[in-house]
Amino acid sequence: MAVFGATGSIGTSALDVIARHPDRLRVTVLAAGRDVEALLVLCRRHRPQHAVIADETRFAALCDGLRDAGLDTRAHAGAKAIEDLAGSDACNTVVAAIVGAAGLPSTMAAARAGKRLLLANKESLVLAGELLMAAAREGGATIVPIDSEHNAIFQCLPSARTQSSIDNTLARIILTASGGPFRGRTRASLADVTVEQAVNHPKWSMGPKISVDSATLMNKGLEVIEAHHLFGLPGARIDVLVHPQSLVHSMVEFIDGSTLAQLGLPDMRTALAVGFGWPQRIDSGVGGLDLLAEGGRLDFEPPDLDAFPCLRLAYGALAAGGTAPALLNAANEVAVSAFLQRRIGFLSIPALVEDTLAAIPASPATSLDALHDADAHARHHTAQAVAAARTPA
Ligand code: NAD
Ligand code: MG
């Protein structure tokens, strides 16, 4: 199996689960963005056939490190190498855990090649959901969502399948949200929150980008769009409930009034074990849920769209359709990156996304090229707005 984004939060959890099953799971490809040292540590431990560093300037360091370690792992560099390996015979399962739109080409290649696709890279679904789901259908790929909410829904559906099996017995999906580190705060009180506060998630340990997305609730907005593509429901039948304990990972309501939920401790290894083992259940390293030990309560409240407008913006982009979700995602990636670099304040994230959506009209998303153009246009527009905001009048 291939793990793309191997050095990240999801990648690390995936490798932990794989290492528990040496008899049935074997790592053949590892890929990372630019941290060669971390990738080499993983290569020494998992001895893959191929290792890829996306940043081509680090290729020599990867070659040297593999040679010094006495490994016969083949070194590669660049995004194209990741994409090629995703569709190659080097793997039958792909863990898509690169962060951001950079994950789209390899995710798409794995879908086309009919792999089992453990899909954590939600941005690829937001950016190109229709094309990605169509590629998976045509290529015969099995998508198992590696987002706790969508994995929960996958487990609750009768045939535990994504879009192809959805029928009219499904009334509604209820995505749960922890509410992030700023739950209960007013919009005005969020003006000067720091990067440290924003990435300090109360329940989940995750990479910096998704942690900020959780603090703005954009993560839940991306997940509404993700659920739309995976399960084929319109935005009007995808609801969000804030659930601070993060133990109920989502719910599915059927037309007969039944609601099914999946519960568990907040640890992504459960979702990953579902992905690797399905339809069998395999050990994930995560213990069972003791509700009393967890406080004996499950609370729910509506999301505050005034304090966290990103969720509203995402519903709007889904309703607008076409390239609107791609514009939303690109603007958000640029804004979050600027926030993490301390170039803009927290409230500028929704403001920049809203501004970009207002400035660039959505058009039909008929091809990957159209989506790439929309993505590039939105990145350019948002980056300019960031620069302008930094320029004293
Ligand atoms: P992270 O920042 O911890 O890890 C990102 C990984 O991607 C790293 O290995 C990095 O080297 C690699 N990477 C970055 N840019 C790259 C590029 N251009 N080319 C190739 N590799 C690149 O992020 P994460 O929290 O593990 O999240 C990964 C994805 O999974 C995101 O799309 C996120 O939304 C999704 N996700 C994460 C969680 C979680 O619990 N962390 C939960 C649900 C979904
Ligand atoms: Mg999630």
Q: For residues 274 and 154, give the distance between their C-alpha atoms in angstroms, rounded to a whole number.
A: 10
- In this structure, the residue with its CA closest to atom 17 of ligand 1 is 33
- With 90 as the cut, is the pLDDT of residue 160 above it? no
CB-based burial, 8-36: b 16+ in 10 Å, e otherwise = bbbbbbbbbbbebeeeebebbbbbbbebb
Confidence of residue 204 (pLDDT cuts 50, 70, 90): confident
The whole-number average pLDDT for the span 39-45 is 98
**Residue 279 DSSP SS3:** coil
Please give the tally of structural domains in the chain: 3
- In this structure, the residue with its CA closest to atom 6 of ligand 1 is 5
Ligand 1 pocket, residue 6 CB under 6 Å:
yes
Q: Please provide the distance, in angstroms rounded to a whole number, between the alpha carbons at the two ends of the chain.
A: 53
Identify which ligand lies nearest to the alpha carbon of 146: 1
Residue 142 lies in a domain: yes
Q: For residues 28 and 4, give the distance between their C-alpha atoms in angstroms, rounded to a whole number.
A: 11
Residue 196 lies in a domain: yes
Q: What is the pLDDT of residues 264-320, one digit of tens each?
A: 999 999 999 999 999 999 999 999 999 999 999 999 999 999 999 999 999 999 999
pLDDT of residue 270: 98
The whole-number average pLDDT for the span 163-184 is 86
Confidence of residue 164 (pLDDT cuts 50, 70, 90): very low
The interface pTM score, or ipTM, of the predicted complex is 0.99
Residues 220 and 168 in one domain: yes
The whole-number average pLDDT for the span 176-180 is 97
How far does the centroid of ligand 1 lie from the alpha carbon of residue 97, in Å? 5
Task: Please choose, from the candidates 249, 120, 239, the residue with its C-alpha nearest in 3D space to the C-alpha of residue 174.
Answer: 239
Q: Give me the residues near ligand 2 (ion), CB cutoff below 5 Å.
A: 147-149
Residues 298 and 333 in one domain: no
**Residue 164 DSSP SS3:** helix
Confidence of residue 163 (pLDDT cuts 50, 70, 90): low
Residue 280 lies in a domain: no
80 annotated as a binding-site residue: no
Q: What is the pLDDT of residues 209-246, one digit of tens each?
A: 999 999 999 999 999 999 999 999 999 999 999 999 99
Q: For residues 215 and 18, give the distance between their C-alpha atoms in angstroms, rounded to a whole number.
A: 30
Q: For residues 383 and 325, give the distance between their C-alpha atoms in angstroms, rounded to a whole number.
A: 18
What region does 5 belong to: left with phi over 0, alpha with psi -120 to 50, or beta?
A: left
Q: For residues 183 and 216, give the distance between their C-alpha atoms in angstroms, rounded to a whole number.
A: 10
Residues 23 and 103 in one domain: yes
How far does the centroid of ligand 2 lie from the alpha carbon of residue 144, in Å? 14
Q: What is the pLDDT of residues 72-85, one digit of tens each?
A: 999 999 999 999 99
> For the chain, what is the mean pLDDT?
96
Q: For residues 136 and 110, give the distance between their C-alpha atoms in angstroms, rounded to a whole number.
A: 8
Q: For residues 280 and 112, give the distance between their C-alpha atoms in angstroms, rounded to a whole number.
A: 25
Using the 3D structure, point to which of 281, 312, 343 is the last residue of a domain. 312
Ligand 1 site-directed mutation target among 3, 9, 132, most atoms within 8 Å of CB = 9
- Residue that is written with structure tokens 């008929």 in the block: 366
Residue 298 lies in a domain: yes
Say how many C-beta atoms besides its own lie within 10 A of residue 112's C-beta.
Answer: 18
Ligand 1 pocket, residue 65 CB under 6 Å:
no
pLDDT of residue 392: 56
Say how many C-beta atoms besides its own lie within 10 A of residue 255's C-beta.
Answer: 11
Q: What is the pLDDT of residues 322-363, one digit of tens each?
A: 999 999 999 999 999 999 999 999 999 999 999 999 999 999
Using the 3D structure, point to which of 89, 124, 146 is the last residue of a domain. 146
Q: What is the CATH number of the domain that holds 74?
A: 3.40.50.720
Using the 3D structure, point to which of 146, 175, 198 is the last residue of a domain. 146
Q: What is the CATH number of the domain that holds 358?
A: 1.10.1740.10
pLDDT of residue 38: 98
pLDDT of residue 202: 87
Cα dihedral angle (382, 383, 385, 391), rounded to 10 degrees?
Answer: 170
Ligand 1 site-directed mutation target among 99, 212, 219, most atoms within 8 Å of CB = 99
What is the number of the ligand 1 atom nearest to the C-alpha of 219? Answer: 34
How far does the centroid of ligand 1 lie from the alpha carbon of residue 87, in Å? 20
Q: What is the pLDDT of residues 15-32, one digit of tens each?
A: 999 999 999 999 999 999
Residue 153 lies in domain:
147-267+290-312
Ligand 1 pocket, residue 53 CB under 6 Å:
no
Residues 152 and 117 in one domain: no
8 annotated as a binding-site residue: yes
Ligand 1 site-directed mutation target among 7, 10, 146, 267, most atoms within 8 Å of CB = 10
